[in-house]
Amino acid sequence: MVGCNHDTWNLTPRIWFETEGHGAGFTGARLDGAEGFAPQSGMNEHGLAFSRLAAATPESGSVTSGKKQILKPTTFLKDVLHRCKTVEEVKTYIDEYDHSTFIEDVFIYIDSSGNYLIVEPYSTTLGYDSTYVLANFCPSQVSDFSKIKQERYIKGKAFLQNKLDTSLSFCKALSDTMHVCRAKIGDGTLLTSIWNLNEGNIHLYFYHDYKHEVSFNLKEELSKGNHIIDVLTLFPTNLEFTKLAEFKTPLNSPAIDSFLKISLLFFSAMALYFTISYLRTRKRSNYAKIKLAMIPLSIIMAYYMFALGTNINIYYFPAPYKHYKLSLLDMAAYTPFLILLLIIPLINMNRKVLKEKTWGFISKGLFTMNNITYLVLIVLFTYWGLYNIFN
């Protein structure tokens, strides 16, 4: 029995079945262009299953020269199940490739004997424990598993110490114990899949609701040919998921994504413009120090626009956001508070600049445009809960 919790903010969960090679079923939620949906977990007709977890890049390791390159990651992951029957076969197949392509992933493959294979960016390791729990880390990088702080892993290990069973009810309870439901907007585990490797049964639970279950038999589904099913059509309306779907971020709103990209370009240009303008007019222009101050502020804003557009975690985790490793992003997380603190002085200075006619037309217009953009961003920061430091 293999249980997989898929924690993601993608809104398009799918289950699909492919008959080529060793027929297999997959679950996933991220569309990868022409390659289709990227599989997050799956099982083939020989009882070989896998699950994929995000993990920090290993601090050590290297690629052996002469390895084949993985040109299509999504297709590669599906091919593993279409080609292999056991974890030993998986190891032989994957070791032919430079799997550091998946530099921020760790995979676990399990076959019907109960043996498993851990695939990290720079290593593959077979295991034979009767029970095994894996979360978002590379096992080879852990010297003392008792010091792991990931709550879901701690709960899973504790659950298995009290009792061991292979019934569906037990596996469902374990999945429930390890599921994620974050306090901010109730997001977390989008899809739970439990795979019975001996009988070929698949059990799905949607958006950490373990009261409603949908089951499939792999052999029966493969007899219908290749097909894909929208998981949303299988379950009743889930109010927590509706809240997630209505929460707008660059991930699900093209308008917001475009605004952040335009803002990134705008603030980058402003850093350059105010640098040139300050150097040219600093001796004969009033409020020259304002132009000087706009240079670092524009650089900070440009970086934060980039962070908002590339790090989706910021929108869902508590504010101010803290990265798993201390980084520049931890300091940039205070940018919304900086803009909120400066907005009144900036607007007041904007009024003086316009009234006293001390700057040129372009400088006035760009300074005003900066402040309008700050006001729009303050509204968005408030909507995203980036000021809710007590959540």
Q: Is the pLDDT of residue 29 over 90?
A: yes
Q: Which pLDDT score, from 0 to 100, does residue 191 have?
A: 97
Three-state DSSP state, 137: coil
Asked if residue 208 and residue 133 are part of one domain, the reply reads yes
Question: What is residue 150's DSSP assignment?
Answer: -
What is the C-alpha separation between 192 and 186, in angstroms, rounded?
A: 16
Mean pLDDT (the chain) is 93
Q: Which pLDDT score, from 0 to 100, does residue 171 have?
A: 95
For residue 123, being part of any structural domain is answered with: yes
| CB-count exposure of residue 91 (10 Å: 0-12, 13-18, 19+) | middle
CA angle 347, 349, 354 (to 5 degrees): 95
Quote the crossing angle between the two packed helices 288-310 and 254-281, to the nearest 10°. 160
Banded model confidence at residue 217, pLDDT cuts 50, 70, 90: very high
Asked if residue 311 and residue 193 are part of one domain, the reply reads no
Q: 288-314 pLDDT, tens per residue?
A: 889 999 999 999 999 999 999 999 999
The total number of structural domains in the chain stands at 2
Q: Which pLDDT score, from 0 to 100, does residue 162 have?
A: 79
For residue 222, being part of any structural domain is answered with: yes
What CATH number should be reported for the domain holding residue 115? 3.60.60.10
How large a percentage of the chain has pLDDT more than 90? 83
Asked if residue 348 and residue 289 are part of one domain, the reply reads yes
Asked if residue 174 and residue 297 are part of one domain, the reply reads no
For residue 244, being part of any structural domain is answered with: no
Asked if residue 262 and residue 187 are part of one domain, the reply reads no
Q: 240-282 pLDDT, tens per residue?
A: 999 999 999 999 999 999 999 999 999 999 999 999 999 988 8
Residues 317-326, mean pLDDT to the nearest whole number: 81
Asked if residue 219 and residue 88 are part of one domain, the reply reads yes
Q: What is the CA radius of gyration of the chain?
A: 26
Domain endpoint, select from 207, 235, 263: 235
**41 and 195 in contact (C-beta within 8 Å)?**
yes
Asked if residue 303 and residue 184 are part of one domain, the reply reads no
Asked if residue 121 and residue 16 are part of one domain, the reply reads yes
Q: What pairing do the DSSP bridges indicate for beta strands 24-28 and 30-31?
A: unpaired
| The 201-206 sheet, strands edge to edge | 2-7, 189-196, 201-206, 214-217
Q: 137-185 pLDDT, tens per residue?
A: 999 999 899 999 999 999 999 999 878 889 999 999 999 999 999 888 8
For residue 243, being part of any structural domain is answered with: no
Asked if residue 54 and residue 84 are part of one domain, the reply reads yes
Task: Pull the structure tokens for residue 259.
Answer: 């605004």
Asked if residue 228 and residue 261 are part of one domain, the reply reads no
In the chain, the DSSP E strands lie at 2-7, 14-18, 24-28, 30-31, 37-38, 41-44, 49-54, 105-110, 116-120, 123-127, 189-196, 201-206, 214-217, 227-230
Most confident stretch, 12-21, 177-186, 277-286: 12-21
Residues 61-70, mean pLDDT to the nearest whole number: 85
Residues 366-381, mean pLDDT to the nearest whole number: 97
- Top pLDDT among 241 and 328 is at 241
For residue 129, being part of any structural domain is answered with: yes
Q: Is the pLDDT of residue 390 over 70?
A: no
Residues 209-214, mean pLDDT to the nearest whole number: 96
Three-state DSSP state, 130: coil
Asked if residue 206 and residue 298 are part of one domain, the reply reads no
CB contact set of 354 (below 8 Å; sequence gap of 6+): 364, 368
Q: Is the pLDDT of residue 13 over 80?
A: yes
For residue 92, being part of any structural domain is answered with: yes
Q: Which of 345, 365, 362 is nearest to 281 (CA)?
A: 362
Distances (CA, A) of 130 to 116, 117, 120: 10, 13, 21
Task: Pull the structure tokens for residue 61.
Answer: 């390791």
Q: Is the pLDDT of residue 391 over 70?
A: no
Domain endpoint, select from 200, 235, 270: 235
For residue 391, being part of any structural domain is answered with: no
Banded model confidence at residue 64, pLDDT cuts 50, 70, 90: confident
**378 and 346 in contact (C-beta within 8 Å)?**
no
Q: 68-87 pLDDT, tens per residue?
A: 999 999 999 999 999 999 99
Q: What pairing do the DSSP bridges indicate for beta strands 116-120 and 123-127?
A: antiparallel
Q: List the alpha helices (DSSP H) in 214-253.
A: 218-222, 239-246
Three-state DSSP state, 202: strand
Amino acid at 128: Y
Asked if residue 203 and residue 170 are part of one domain, the reply reads yes
What is the C-alpha separation between 154 and 166, in angstroms, rounded?
A: 20
For residue 242, being part of any structural domain is answered with: no
Domain range holding 326? 254-383
